[in-house]
Structure 1
Amino acid sequence: MEIKKSLFDNLQNFFGFDNFKGEQEAIITNILQRKDTFVIMPTGGGKSICYQLPALMSEGTAIVISPLIALMKNQVDQLRAFGGTDSIAHFLNSSLNKTDTAKVKQDVLSGETKLLYVAPESLTKQENIDFLRLIKVSFVAVDEAHCISEWGHDFRPEYRKIRQVINNIGENIPIIALTATATPKVQQDIQKNLQMTDATLFKSSFNRPNLFYDVRAKKNVLKEIVKFIKGNTGKSGIIYCLSRKKVEEVAEVLSLNGIKALPYHAGLDAKMRADTQDKFLMEDVDVIVATIAFGMGIDKPDVRYVIHHDIPKSMEGYYQETGRAGRDGGEGYCLAFYSEKDIEKLTKFMKDKPVSEREIGTQILKEVIDYSESAVCRRKQILHYFGENFNEAGCNGMCDNSAHQKTYFDATEKLQCTLRLIEQLGEKFDDQHIINIMMGVENSQITSYEHNKLPEFCSGKADGEILWKSLLRQALLDNYLIKDTDSYGLLRLSKSGRSFIEAPHTVKFIMNRPMEAADDDSDENAPSATSSLDTQLLQMLKDLRKKISKQKNLPPFVIFQDPSLEEMCNHYPVTIDELKQIQGVGAGKALKFGAPFIELIKKYVEENDIDRPVDLVIKSQANKSALKVSIIQNIDRQIALEDIASSKGITYEDIIREVESIVNSGTKLNLNYYIDEMIDEDRQDEVFDYFRGSEQDSIDIALKELGSDDYTREEIQLMRIKFLSELGN
C-alpha cells in the first residue's frame, strides 16, 4: 500500500499525471521490487515513464541504454524540465567533449543524477565500465531492445554485448528491456541474449484503433503526396524515404509548393538535425521528410499523418514509423506507396550481405510484400505479425481494405487440397514453392524434387497466381498454417489445419486486389492521363495568342507553344506563379506574355464555375537543373556547344535539346558567337525572316520551304533557337 501511495505521489509531483496508463503501474512496481522486467508496448503507450519513474524513486543511478543521440537529448531535456535541475539526468555519448564528460561523471558520483543515458557503443568502452563500477546502479533499462535481434528491423551488434557489460559492472543488477515492436521470434531472442528468461513479461495490445492504414500503388507519387498534404493544411506529418537523395528531392518539391517542409537524414550535420527537430516540435515546420533516422524518441503527440514514399524494409519498421502518428489518441493517417520497383531495390541492397543475413532479410521483406498486396484488413495482418489474433470487424473501417468493396471466393476445396499437399510434402517448403506447384512453374527446385510429376502440378493455373497468394496468406492469418521463421519460412500445419483436412467446413477468402504498376519517377509530374482537354478554353487561348502575336508582330509559337496552351486547359492557372509551372512557360515567358492569359483563364473559371484541380499543379524541380545552369554559364562564357557537350559527357544532339528546352521556358541565351561561326549573316537573315512570317515552328517545313540543299537541319534548328530567344524571351 505504501509503495502504491508513493507511486501516485511521485507520478503527480514529477510528471503531473493523476493516473497510470495501461500496465505502467504494474511494470514500475515490478522493477521497484528489483525483478527483471520485459515490456512490449506500442509507440505512444508510455514506455519511458516505466523506467523514468522507478529511477527517480530508487537509490542510485539508473543506466538507460538508448541507440540514438537525438532520442537521449529529447528525453534528458524533458526530465530536466520536470525535475527543475540539470543534474537529474545526463547522457554519455560521442557528442560530448572532455569538459562535458567530466561534468557528467562528477554529477553521477555526487549522487545527483538519477538517470544516465548511454549509447551501446559508449557502454562497451573500458573507461566507462570502470567508471560505472564506482557508482550504485539502481537498474539497467535497455530501450529499443529489438536492436538485439537479427530478426528485428534495426539490428545492432553492440546490443548483443550489453549482458556481458552489465555482468562486469556489478552483481544482481535488475534489467528492464523495452520495445515497441517485437514478434514472438524477436521476444525470444531478446530474453535469451539478456539472460532474462525468468523476467516478468508485460505485453500490451499492438492495436492502435485511432490509426487509419492505407496502401496505394506508387503512381504519380509526388502529386499524390502534395495533394494529400494540401488537404491536411496546418497538420504535422512525417514522410519517410529510403534514400537521402529522395529525402532531399521530396523536401524540395514540398517547399516549392508552399509546404513548410525540411529534410532530415544522417548526412546532415548534428546541429542542423537538432535544429530541424526543434523546428518540428515548435511547429515552425509542418512536415519532416526523413530517412528512418528521424522519429525515434521524438515526443510529438500530435503528428497527424505518416507517409511512406517508399515501402519500408520490414513490418516492424513500418509499425514503428506509422506509430509516430496520433500518439495523443487523436487522428492518425498512415499512407504508404508500394511498387515492385521498390522491392527490387531493397532486394539489391541485400545481395552483398552474408547468406544467413540475406535469408533473414528476404523473409522479413516478404512479409511487407504480402501485407501490401493483400486485400485483407490491414490491422488484422499487422496484429497477426506480432502474434496477436484480431477479428477484422473490430477495425471499424479504419483501413483501406476494410473500407473497400471486397471480392470473395469459395476456398473450401482449394484450402483442403493445399493443406493436404503441404502435409504430403512433409511440411518442408515455403508458400512460393506451393504456389509454383499449383501454377505449373517448372524451375530447378521443382524439377529437382520431381514436384512437376505431382497430380497437383499446374492444377491451379486457370485460377491465377493472385488467388493462390490470397489463399495462402489468409490460411496463415486464420491460423490454418504456421510460418516457421527459424527454418526459412517453411509452412507447417497448425492444429486447426490438420482438423480442416479431416473435417472441412465452408470457408470464403478475400481475393487480393492487383496493385497497379507504378510509373517511372520521370513521369511523376506528368499531367494526369484521365484529365480531359477543355477544347472551348483552348480555342479562346489560341485566339488570344493570335491577337497578341499580331500586336507584337510575332509568330504565335513564339508566345506560347501548343503543348503549353493544352496544359493550361487542364490546370487552369490563375496566377503568374501557377503559370510558371506550366510546361514550356518558365519565369521569363510568364512575366513577358502571361498577364492577359491568366486574366482570360480567371474569368473563364468564374463564369463557368469550374472547380480548378490546383492540387494537381505540382511545382517540381527542373529536371537536370544543375546541368541547365552549367550550360547557361558556359554559353555566357562563349564556349562552343561541342566542347560543353564533351565536358558534360553528353552528345551534341543532347546539348541542342537542352538549349532548346532552356529557351522554350523563357530564358534568353546569346548564341551569336557560335552561330556567326557557322552561318553567314545573309543566310541568318533569310531564316530569321522566314520564322517571323511563319505561323508554324516546324524544322521540317522550314527545310522544305528554304531548300534542304541550301541549309542543314542543324542550321535551321540553331536559327530557330536564336529567333525564339531574341523575340520571345
Structure 2
Amino acid sequence: MPDLQQAQRVLREVFGYEQFRGAQADIVDTVVSGQNALVLMPTGGGKSLCYQIPSIVRPGVGIVISPLIALMQDQVDALRELGVRAGFINSSLSSAEYGQMMTELRAGRLDLLYIAPERFSQAATLELFDTLPIALFAIDEAHCVSQWGHDFRADYLSLSILQQRYPHVPRIALTATADAATRDEIVERLALHDAEHFVTGFDRPNIQYRITQKRSPRQQLLDFLRREHSGDAGIIYCLSRRKTEETADWLQQQGFDALPYHAGLSAEQRLRHQQRFLREDGVIVVATIAFGMGIDKPDVRFIVHLDLPRSLESYYQETGRAGRDGEPATAWMVYGLQDVIKLRQMMDGSQGNEQFKRLERIRLDAMLGLCEITSCRRQALRAYFGEQAPDQCGNCDTCLNPPPTWDGTQAAQKALSCVYRTGQRFGVAYLIEVLSGLESERILSNGHQRVSTFGIGRELDKSQWQSVFRQLVARGYLGVDHASFGGLYLTEKARPVLRGEETVQLREDIKEVSARSRRGSDRGHAMLPEDRRLWEALRQCRKQLAEEHDVPPYVIFHDATLQDMVELRPLNEQQLLAINGVGQGKLSKYGQEFLRIINEHELEVL
C-alpha cells in the first residue's frame, strides 16, 4: 500500500520541492490511503499536486475530469516535461491521436488521464474505464456542478455516477471558489457525504485589491498600466464581446501587446491568443469571463475589471488568476453608477425562477457591498466565504488610503423624495437635473419645475449626486426598473430614511492614489545591475528552451525558480537540485544550460 513517504519522494524527485505546503500533505495522505476529499484551496495554492502525486503513487491511472479543454495540452506537456506519463482525451484529438491514447491507456502506460466531462459521460468511455485499474477520480473546478453557481456546466451533473459505478475508487473534488451553499451542493451532487473537507483559506496576501470610481475608464486604465504594470502580463475583463474587441484595439494603438478573447472568435483564434498569452512575455488579454479558468500562467501581474462582476465568487476567481507565483500582483477595478443599473436591470429581467433571482440579488448585493465598503476589502471578501480575518490587511486601497465618509442622510432624503415626486420612472441624469433646478425643455414639458424637490440640491455638483444615487442603488434603497430604461423607484428600505428614522453614512469619492510602492518586494523589479544581467540571461535561456520544446516558458522553470538561481548562484548539479522547482527530470534536461550561464556570469563578475 503506498504511503505519504512515497508521496514525499515523488514531490522531491519529480516536482523538485522539498516539502508540501499547508494542507497538501494531509490531502495527499487522505487520497493515497483511498479516502474521498473535498478541497477548497485558493488559486496558486497547489491544488493540482493534491491529485497528481496520488495518481503517480497509487496503482492504476488517475482520471482527471476538467472543463478546460483548451488547456489540457499545456497541462499534459508540463507533466511530460517532468517525466510523468500523462495524456488527455478531448475533441481536439485526431482519430490517429485518439487511437494512440487508447493504446497507451489500455497498456497501462499512463499515470494521469485528463478528460472533458462531456466525453466522460459517454457510454463507451465508462465501459472502457470499467476494464481499467483506476487510481482515483479528480473532479477539478468542482463548483461547476452547482446549478446556482456562477460557472455551471450541465455535463458535471452526470458525475454523480462515479459513486454508484466505482464505489471503491477514491474521489477528490477541488475548487478555489465556493461559498457554503455551493459546497453543500458539491457534496450532494457528487455524493461526497463521507469525504474529508479541507478548507485551506481564501486569502491571497500578495494580491492588492483596489476599486475606484469610474470617471474616464480608458484614461484611468492607461494611467494604471503605464504607471504600475508596463511590460507585465495581465488580464482585463469586460462584460461584452464588443467591448473586449474595442479595448484590445485601443490598447494596441497605445503600444501594448493586447489580444481579445471571447466566445464569438473562432476556436483557432481563441487558441492562438491563449497560446501567445501563455508563451510570450508581457501579453495582455482583454476578455469576457470565458477566459482564464484553469490558466496556470504563474506571472500574471494584474487583473483589471472594466465592468462589475455579477458576484463575489466571480470576482474572487477572476482576481485569483494574478500572482500565482506568490509575487506581488494587483486586482484593479473601476465601477460606476451605470454598472449598478445595468446589472440590476439584467437581473430583474432574467428568465430564471424567483428562487434563482433571489440568490442572484443576494450575490450582487454582496458584490456591491465590497465596492462601497469603507473598511478592509480583504476582510469583507474572506468573510463572504466564511473566514475570519483581521480588521486591516494593509494591502488593499481602503487600508492604504482610508476613504472619508460623510453624513448623507439629508442628501439621501432629497434624492429619494425626488424619485417619488417625479413618479418613480426617471433615470439618474434627469433626477439630477431636477435636483439642480435646471429648467430644461424636458423638465418643463413634464411640469417638474413645480415639484417640491426642484432645485433643492444645488449644494452638490453633478458628480456628487451621481455618487449619492450610486450608493443608494447599491445599498438597495432604490430599485431599477428594467422595463423603463433605468428608471428608479423606491424600495421598502427607503421608508425609514424618508421618515427620519435612519441615518445614512455615505462614502466620499476620492481620487485613486498610486500604490506602486507596495510592489517593492517584487524581486523582478528591484535588482542590482549585475543581478539584472543574470536574470535576463536566464530568462532568455528559458525562452529558447521553451521554443525548442514547444511549451510555455514557465513549464521549463517558474520565475520564482529563476529568482532563486539569481540569489543563490548554484554552480553545480547538487546545488541546483536544492533549488525549489528543480527536480531530477528538469535537472537532466536543462540543468547544464542554466549552470553554464550562472558560471559564466560568476567569472565575469570576478
The two structures have a TM-score, normalised by structure 1, of 0.56
The Cα shift of 1:183 comes to: 0.9
* Paired letter, 2:384: Y
Task: Tell me the amino acid that sits aligned with residue 512 of structure 1.
Answer: R
Partner of 1:354: 352
What is the CA distance between 1:308 and its match in structure 2? Answer: 0.6
Q: What is the number of residues matched between the two proteins?
A: 436
Q: Secondary structure at the match of 1:83?
A: coil
Unpaired segments ≥5 residues, structure 1 = 411-430, 468-510, 517-729
Q: Structure 1 residues 402, 102: closer, same or farther in 2, change over 3 A? A: same
Q: Deviations over 1:564-603 (max 9, x none)?
A: xxxxxxxxxxxxxxxxxxxxxxxxxxxxxxxxxxxxxxxx
Tell me the equivalent position of 1:11.
11
Query: Letter of the aligned partner of 2:15 in structure 1?
Result: F
SS in 2 for 1:186: helix
Whether the aligned pair in 1 keeps the contact of 2:379 and 2:390 (CA below 8 Å) is yes
SS of 1:111's partner is coil
Q: Which moved more, 1:206-215 or 1:2-11?
A: 2-11
1:343 & 1:90 partners in 2: Cα distance?
Answer: 45
Q: What do the CA deviations read for 1:257-304 (whole angstroms, capped 9, x no partner)? A: 111111122222233222222222222542111112222222111111
Larger Rg: 1
1:152 to 149, 154, 162: 149
Q: Which position in structure 1 is the counterpart of 2:22?
A: 22
Is 1:322 the equivalent of 2:319? yes
SS at match of 2:172: strand
Q: 2:307 aligns with which of 310, 316, 319?
A: 310
What secondary structure is seen at the aligned counterpart in 1 of 2:188?
helix
- For 2:194, the aligned partner's letter is D
The corresponding residue for 1:94 is 91
| Aligned partners of 1:376 and 1:512 also within 8 Å | no
SS at match of 1:237: strand
Instruction: Render the CA deviation track for 1:342-372: whole Å, top value 9, x for unaligned.
Output: 2333344442322133332222222111111
Give the alignment partner of residue 262 of structure 2, picking from 262, 265, 275.
Answer: 265
Kindly report which structure 2 residues correspond to 1:326-341, keeping only aligned pairs within 5 A, or say none.
326-341=323-338
Q: CA shift at 1:100, angstroms? A: 2.3
Deviations along 1:5-27, one digit per CA (max 9) or x if unpaired, are: 31221112211111111111111
1:454-506 per-position Cα deviation (integer Å, ceiling 9, x unaligned)? xx674446734xx3xxxxxxxxxxxxxxxxxxxxxxxxxxxxxxxxxxxxxxx
Q: Using the alignment, how far apart are the partners of 2:64 and 2:141 within structure 1?
A: 10
Contact 1:261–1:285 (Cα < 8 Å) also in 2 = no
Pairs within 5 Å for 1:576-655: none
Taking a change above 3 Å as real, the CA distance of residues 25 and 134 of structure 1, as seen in their structure-2 partners, is same
Give the Cα–Cα distance (whole angstroms) in 2 for the partners of residues 20 and 97 of structure 1: 38
Structure 1 runs (4+) deviating above 6 angstroms are: 431-435, 442-445
Q: Conserved in 1, the CA contact under 8 Å of 2:4 and 2:32?
A: no
Matched to 2:278, the amino acid is: L
Match of 2:340 among 321, 340, 343: 343
Q: Percent identity?
A: 38
In 1: Cα distance, 2:287 partner to 2:405 partner: 39
Structure 1 letter corresponding to 2:110: T
Cα offset for 1:313?
A: 1.4
The partner residue of 2:192 within 196, 201, 204 is 196
Task: Look up the SS of the partner of 1:206 in the other structure.
Answer: coil
Distance 1:365 1:515, change over 3 A: farther
Q: Where in structure 2 are the equivalents of 1:374-413 lying within 5 Å?
A: 374-393=373-392, 395-396=393-394, 398-407=395-404
Aligned to 1:177: 173
1:463 to 500, 503, 518: 503
458 and 341 in structure 1: CA distance in 2 versus 1, 3 angstrom threshold: closer
- Residues 373 and 515, structure 1, Cα contact 8 Å, conserved in 2: no
2: CA distance, partners of 1:434 / 1:209: 28
Task: Determine the C-alpha separation between the residues in 1 that align with 2:249 and 2:473.
Answer: 41
Amino acid at match of 2:245: E
Distance 1:370 1:141, change over 3 A: same
User: Is 2:235–2:302's contact at 8 Å kept on the other side of the alignment?
Assistant: yes
2:2·2:57 contact (CA, 8 Å) conserved in 1? Answer: no
Distance 1:514 1:11, change over 3 A: same
CA contact (8 A) 1:375 1:513 kept: no
2:206 to 199, 203, 210: 210
Q: Distance in 1 between matches of 2:343 and 2:17?
A: 44
The answer to whether the 8 Å contact 2:374/2:402 transfers is no
Partners of 2:255 and 2:475 lie apart in 1 by 51
2:231 to 230, 234, 253: 234
Counterparts in 2 of 1:344 and 1:432: CA distance versus 1, 3 Å: closer
* 2:73 matches 1:76: no
State the 1:445 CA deviation: 7.8
Change (3 A) 1:306 1:348: same
Change (3 A) 1:462 1:172: closer
Q: Which moved more, 1:257-266 or 1:46-55?
A: 257-266
Instruction: For 1:566-585, list aligned pairs within 5 A.
Output: none
Secondary structure in 1 aligned to 2:48? Answer: helix
CA pair 242-105 structure 1, distance change in 2 beyond 3 A: same
> In 2 relative to 1, CA 248–432 (structure 1 residues): closer, same or farther, beyond 3 Å?
closer
Is residue 2:128 matched to residue 1:131? yes
Letter of the aligned partner of 2:246 in structure 1? E
Contact 1:262 1:285 in 2 (8 A): no
Q: 1:239 to 1:434 in 2, by over 3 A?
A: closer
Q: Indicate the SS of the match to 2:209.
A: strand
Q: Equivalent residue of 2:297, what SS?
A: coil
Cα distance change of structure 1 residues 403 and 444 upon mapping to structure 2, 3 Å threshold: closer
Residues 231 and 282, structure 2, Cα contact 8 Å, conserved in 1:
no
After superposition, the Cα gap between the structure-2 partners of 1:435 and 1:324, relative to the gap in structure 1 and judged at 3 Å, is: closer
The 1:344/1:125 distance shift into structure 2, 3 A limit, reads: farther
TM-score (norm 2): 0.67
* Amino acid in structure 2 at the alignment position of 1:353: Q
CA RMSD of aligned residues (A): 2.9
Deviation at 1:514, TM superposition (A): 5.2
The CA distance in 2 between the partners of 1:167 and 1:95, in whole Å, is: 30
Shift of 1:3: 2.4
Alignment-mate amino acid for residue 261 of structure 1: A
CA distance in 1 between counterparts of 2:477 and 2:43 reads 39
Q: How does 1:44-123 map to 2 (within 5 A)?
A: 44-83=44-83, 88-123=85-120
2:2–2:32 Cα contact (<8 Å) kept = no
Matches within 5 A, 1:429-444: none
Cα distance in 1 for partners of 2:99, 2:405 equals: 67
Quote the Cα distance in structure 1 between the aligned partners of 2:290 and 2:44: 18
Q: Distance in 2 between matches of 1:66 and 1:189?
A: 18
